[in-house]
Amino acid sequence: MESAVVIFTKIPIPGLVKTRLTRETCLSELDTARLAEAMLKDTITLASMTVADRIQIGYYPQENTTDLNEIINTLRNEGRLNQPIDLILQDGSDFNQRFGSIVKESFKRNYDYIVILGSDLPFLDPKVINKALIYLSENFHENPVIIGPSSGGGIYLFGITNSFNFSWFTDYNLFRDGSELSKFAKFCKDNEFPLIALPPYGDIDIEEDLVSLLSYIDMLKNSETTIGFYYPNYTAKVLEELELHIVQKLDQTRQRKIAKKSTK
């Protein structure tokens, strides 16, 4: 049987990616685009460390594919790619349609099971992805659905076999209103699909997530060994270049923000 890791992402274009971080933090549109590019590089790298036969990148928009190919060529030239990569354009007017289009196209290319990731979890341990891939392989005929829950009720990893119909995302409106976990739980129960839950991870969407990312990187680079984490080299480098650090409001234990060292 053949497997693929699919990375569902936007091309890191200023003004298109991580717009909440631009609105809520000291980061400019160019800063967030650089951060998104670094996280995508780390995600491709960690995906390439898995047992998957191939990596696919489900991207949006159609323009700027040259930028995406440059990212891939950089990783290949640096020896960080172990599998071939396919590019698949997301198609549709909403998230469910675009997500379904990637699933449809991936299975059209004769993969038996796939694991889909976002591109904003650059410290995800490849062993977590491998566990999903191995479970799908060993329990293929049971048609399991594997979900990695993220902060806020979202999903950072989604694993399925080719029995999963791409139209179900739209038919059941599975990705909507920030209640994905509840929707998928009900869907699996109603349709008698075994649901397998992975450990939770927090992806990078808001300022609080970026505070956590900086803290993780400080911990990881000083750790003798790590369990459950991948060290995100590209992301760490960009954060260092942006001179980001954590500032804490006086007498407010959890009121932490991001600032640039060059900002007075």
Looking at residue 183, its amino acid is K
**Cβ atoms of residues 5 and 56 within 8 Å:** yes
Average pLDDT, the chain: 94
The pLDDT of residue 250: 56
Q: What is the pLDDT of residue 15?
A: 95
pLDDT value, residue 248: 76
Residues 26-77 pLDDT 10s: 999 999 999 999 999 999 999 999 999 999 999 999 988 999 999 999 999 9
What three-state secondary structure class fits 157? Answer: strand
pLDDT in tens, 170-215: 999 999 877 899 999 999 999 999 999 999 999 999 999 999 999 9
* Domains observed in the chain: 3-203 (3.90.550.10)
- Please tell me whether the peptide bond between 149 and the residue prior to it is cis, using omega within 30 degrees of 0: no
Q: Are 56 and 104 in contact (CB under 8 A)?
A: no
The C-alpha atoms of residue 37 and residue 64 are separated, in whole angstroms, by 13
Question: How far is residue 72 from each of residues 50, 57, 84, measured CA to CA in Å?
Answer: 17, 10, 10
In the sheet with 3-8, reading across from the earlier edge strand, the strands are 85-89, 54-59, 3-8, 113-117, 155-161, 145-149, 195-197
Q: What is the pLDDT of residues 99-123, one digit of tens each?
A: 999 999 999 999 999 999 999 999 9
